[in-house]
Amino acid sequence: MIEEHSFYIDKLPENCRISKFSNELKEFLPFDMKNLENFLLKLFDNSRKFIFENINPIFSPEIELNLIFQAEKFDKIKKEKEKTTRIKEQAKRKLTAFHVGNNLKGHVFINVEERLSVLKHGYPTFILNIVMTFFHEILHCCYLNLRTEQEIFDIESSLVEKFLEIDLPQSWKNLESKYF
């Protein structure tokens, strides 16, 4: 999911979880990569815990997050992983994340540089898009190849709404996998 398939937030409900995360992110200004990394690791951990508390996944693997802050390095890692692992996701556009692993251990790789591109649209927009990326890859680790991209996206959309305490537009929830 890259910018042309990113969701933008104009107005937030009061006291929703996404506002709390946005305010927490603002505390790290000006950005220090170590603080941003710590924030993202915490957000990923919260995302993972929320998913495991709210669904009954087929698998419950340990999941390791790999935050890659340079697009070139991300592309290099992806190419390396493709040599030894079949990456099921063949996105129609440039990948911002992928996962590898099995039912015991998953590895999620996030192209943070690409995800940061939506920050110009505000902290809530960045939080929403990084959370959707996290949820998507975590769900793939939980279901491996037993769910389609569309099924993963549908579960992801429902869970993200609950987690961030917002309503996604119906047009977003109705996206079909042929578009991402």
Cα separation, 34 vs 158, whole angstroms: 31
Q: Which residue has the tokens 């769900």?
A: 139
Exposed/middle/buried for residue 10 (C-beta within 10 Å: 0-12, 13-18, 19+): exposed
pLDDT in tens, 35-94: 899 999 999 999 999 999 999 888 888 999 999 999 999 999 999 988 887 655 555 567
Report yes or no on whether pTM surpasses 0.85. yes
- 3-state secondary structure string across the chain: CCHHHCCCCCCCCCCCHHHHHHHHHHCCCCCCHHHHHHHHHHHHHHHHHHHHHHCCCCCCCEEEEEEECCHHHHHHHHHHHHHHCCCCCCCCCCCCEEEEECCCEEEEEEEHHHHHHHHHHCHHHHHHHHHHHHHHHHHHHHHCCCCCHHHHHHHHHHHHHHHHCCCCCHHHHCCCHHHC
Domain 14-179, CATH:
3.40.390
pLDDT in tens, 150-160: 999 999 999 99
Question: Which pair of structure tokens corresponds to residue 43?
Answer: 């957000």
Cα separation, 151 vs 55, whole angstroms: 13
pLDDT in tens, 90-116: 555 677 899 898 888 999 999 999 999
Closest among 86, 83, 136 to 108, alpha carbons compared? 136
Which pLDDT value is given to residue 4? 47
First to last CA, the chain: 6
pLDDT in tens, 3-16: 445 677 777 878 89
**pLDDT band for position 19 (50/70/90)?**
very high
Q: Which residue has the higher pLDDT, 106 or 2?
A: 106
- Rounded to 10 degrees, what is the CA torsion of 115, 116, 121, 124? 80
pLDDT in tens, 111-150: 999 999 888 888 999 999 999 999 999 999 999 878 888 9
Domain boundaries, the chain: 14-179
